[in-house]
Amino acid sequence: MSRRILVLSAGLSQPSSTRLLADRIAQAVAAQIGGRGESAEIEVVELKDLAVDLATAMSAGGISTPKLARVKETISAADGIIAVTPVFTASYSGLFKMFFDVLDTEALNGMPVIIAATAGTARHSLVLDHALRPLFTYLRAVVVPTGVFAATEDFGDGEAGASLAGRIRRAASEFAALAVAEQTGVDGFVQTETHARKRTSGVHIDQAVTPFMTMLQGHTGNGKAR
């Protein structure tokens, strides 16, 4: 069976250390899933390519462009996500946050996720547990215990580089265990997950959306209708 793994890279430069880290994690995940007798289908989404679409959605009440809608459908159908962001002002980038702001709140239910970040110095490593992990916990994703942080020095061949490689392998192993897990309980003895929340992309809307300014028409702003 092939597992669909989506890589989200919020790097802005070219070449990008964020994309480099994302690719290394993806390769490790593919190897770990392969070691469990399955294959991994890796798809990479560069969030910088969605910048205009994200701005449009944010200013249009969350209505997605066709390009953004396709990505949203892809993410809710994935078997796992690798999410990597550069650190800006002690947190994830604005582009990274915009993407998750426009996702349906049910898009990541039970989704295995590796969180990772890059920065110029190791002083920013706490961003994993103070910013990224709470974000994905709120979205009800299953974040693997090992986050992957890489400072500039970690991309070398020395001790720092070896430490980064170890963190990547450990996170990939934890992720693969979740991505290929199968329910082995016998009906009647183990509670099945019939009540688990389903993932939804939020792309298909059953009813028309009323623009906010239209809703405000006829009101003076003091709580009374004109």
Q: Look up residue 79 and give its DSSP letter.
A: S
Question: Cα separation of 125 and 87, whole Å?
Answer: 9
Give the per-residue pLDDT at 30: 98
CATH of domain 2-216: 3.40.50.360
Burial category of 115 from C-beta neighbours within 10 Å (exposed 0-12, middle 13-18, buried 19 and up): buried
How do beta strands 142-143 and 112-119 pair? parallel
Record the pTM.
Answer: 0.82
- pLDDT value at residue 215: 56
So what's the pLDDT on residue 195?
41
Residue type, 166: G
- Per-block average pLDDT, block size 10, for the chain (226 residues)? 95 93 98 96 97 94 92 94 96 96 94 97 95 97 98 92 96 96 48 52 51 60 54
Residue 188 has what pLDDT?
A: 46
pLDDT attached to residue 186: 44
Distance CA 110, CA 118 (A): 25
Residue 1, pLDDT score? 82
